[in-house]
Amino acid sequence: MFTDMEADLKLKDVSVLCVEDESFTLEFLTQMLGPRVKEVHQARDGQEGLYAFSRFNPDIVITDIEMPRMDGLEMAEAIREQDPEAVVILSTSFDNIDNLKKAIALRLDEFVSKPVAPAELLEVLQRCLRVISRKKAKDRQRRTMEVMLGGMPFPVMLLDTENHRVEIANPEAGRAGYRQGAALEGRFFPPEVRQVIKSKGNAGDLIEAREQSRLEISSGDKNWEIYLKPVASGWMVAAVVDVTWRWHLDQLREDVERITRHDMKTPLNGIIAIPDLLLESDALDDESRELVQYIKESGHTLLNMINLSLDLYKMEQGTYQLDPGKVDLTRVLRQVLRQLEPLSRGKNIQVRLLHQDMDVPDDFSFMVCGEEMLCYSMFSNLIKNALEASPQGKEVSIKMRHQAGESLITIHNHGEVPREIREVFFDKLSTHGKKSGTGLGTYSAALIARTQNGNIDMQTSVESGTTLTVRLPLCQ
C-alpha cells in the first residue's frame, strides 16, 4: 500500500536525539551534529531519552547502552513499542556479546563504534536517510488515508493482510471495536470474510485481485454488508455498511405486497366468477360468448400475475423455489397472442407462430421444462415489447425449435433497439422512448429465464431488425 518513493531528504531535514550519560561524549555529539542536522535533543539516561522521544518525536535516536536508571536497550525496546519504525542507532564498544545479541533481537537500524568517529557517524546517518524517507512518505500517506476514511459515516479500515491486523481504522470502526493493531476477527470478520481476505489479500496478480468482493454477514439482530477491495499486495480496504434497515424494509415490502395481493384478489373473484354464470345462459351468441370467455381468461391471467409479483422479488433475492414441469409452450404463446391482439391489430401487425420455419398447426405441441405461469409472464413481456418496437404493418415472427439439447425460441421484429440502451437492454429500469415504459419488462423476462435455468440474448441492427433468443431446458 505504502510506496517506497524516496524523497530528496538531507541531514538538514532530520532531527536527532542523543542519549548518553557521559557529558563529554554528549557534548561532542551535540557540537558535531548541530550544524549538520535540523535540531539536536539531549538526554542523559534511558528514562530522560524515553521522555524526550515522546515529547520531540525525533527522526533518529543515537543511544549508548550502559546508563543509569534505564539502559539504552531497555529504552530502545520501549521506543519501538511506541513507534515500531523508529530509527535507532546504537553506540557501542562491541565488547559485550550479550548486549549485541539483545540489540540484534530488537532489529536496531545501525551500530556505531565508541569512541565515536565523526566520519563513521555521518556515514551511518546517511544510510538512515532512506529509511526515514520511506517512513515520512508512509506517514504522509497514512495521514491522507486517515483524512479520507475519517469522513465516512460507516466503519472503514485499511487491512494488513500479511499480519492479519487493522492498519488504519476510521472513527466509526473504532467505535465498533476495531482500532489500529486489532486482529481480523469478531463480528465483522467471521470465517467466510477471513477466507476472502486470505485468498485475495496477498494475490500476486493485482489486476484480477482488485475486483471488489461483497459479503453479507449478520450477528444477532444486526445485518451488514462488508466490501473488500485489494489495493496492493498485502493491503486491502474493508468497508462495513449496516443494512439492518434494509432487511426491515424488505420485510415491510413483502408484507405490503402480500396485503396488496389479498386486496386485489377480492374484486377479481367477481371478474372470474361472473363469466361462468354468463356462459351458462342461452341468450349469448357466438361472438358474445367469445368475448365473455376472453374476460374470464384475462381475469385468471391477472390473478396469476398478482401471485407472480412477489415471486419476482424472491427471484431477485435468489430465494425462489422452482417447481419445473412440462409446459406446452404453443398453448402458452397462443394465449399471450390473444391477450395482445388489440395491440397487434391496432398496428396492423401479423404475428406468425412457426416451427422449423413452418406455420404451427392448431394441434401442435412444443414442450419445454419450466413453470407455465413463469413462461406466460416472460413471453408476454417479450412479445409485447416486440410489438411496440415493430414498425407499423411489419410482421413479427416467433420461431420454435429444439437444438443441441435445449429449446430455442426466437422473437423477431423489424425495429432497431436504440444504441443508448443496447448494452443495458436487460437491466432494471432500462427504457427508451416509451412514455409509459417502466424498464421492467425485459429485466423481469431475463430474471425469469435465469430462474428456469435458461437465458435470453438480443441482436439488433438497422438492416436485420431485432431478434431475441430465449433458451430453455428440454423436458427429460
Q: What is the pLDDT of residues 332-355, one digit of tens each?
A: 999 899 888 888 999 999 999 999
pLDDT of residue 435: 45
Determine the Cα angle at 407 with ends 406 and 413, to 5°.
135
Grid coordinates in use for 15? Answer: 532531527
Instruction: Kindly report the three-state secondary structure assignment for every residue of 323-387.
Output: CCEEEEHHHHHHHHHHHCHHHHHHCCCCEEEEECCEECCCCCCCEEEECHHHHHHHHHHHHHHHH
Q: Given the C-alpha cell 405490503, which residue does it identify?
A: 256
pLDDT of residue 7: 44
Decide if pLDDT at 125 tops 80: yes
Lowest-confidence region among 7-21, 49-63, 197-211, 377-391: 197-211
**pLDDT category, 207, cuts 50, 70, 90?**
very low
pLDDT of residue 6: 43
Using DSSP bridges, classify how beta strands 87-92 and 60-63 pair: parallel, antiparallel or unpaired. parallel
Mean residue pLDDT across the chain: 83
Average confidence (pLDDT) over 36-50? 93
Closest CA to 280 of 266, 257, 296: 296
For the chain, what percent of residues have pLDDT higher than 90? 33
- How far is Cα of residue 225 from the mean position of the Cα atoms in its chain? 9
What's 151-242's CATH class? Answer: alpha beta
Decide if pLDDT at 76 tops 70: yes
For helices 72-82 and 46-56, angle between their N-to-C axes, nearest 10 degrees = 30
* Whether the Cβ atoms of residue 268 and residue 275 lie closer than 8 Å to each other: no
Q: Please tell me if the domain spanning 11-142 has the same topology as the one spanning 151-242.
A: no
pLDDT of residue 293: 79
pLDDT digits (tens, 9 = 90+) for 232-264: 778 888 999 888 777 677 677 667 666 666 666
Q: What is the DSSP letter of 321?
A: -
Decide which of 3.40.50.300, 3.40.50.720, 3.30.565.10, 2.30.30.280 is the CATH code for 322-476.
Answer: 3.30.565.10
pLDDT of residue 469: 94
pLDDT of residue 206: 47
What's 11-142's CATH class? Answer: alpha beta
**pLDDT category, 60, cuts 50, 70, 90?**
very high
Lowest-confidence region among 46-55, 220-229, 254-263: 254-263
Break the chain into its structural domains and give their ranges: 11-142, 151-242, 245-319, 322-476
CA separation for the pair 309, 306 (Å, rounded): 5
pLDDT digits (tens, 9 = 90+) for 131-165: 888 777 777 766 766 666 666 788 988 898 888 99
Decide if pLDDT at 418 tops 60: yes
Q: Is 211 helix (H, G, I), strand (E, B) or coil?
A: coil
pLDDT of residue 259: 66
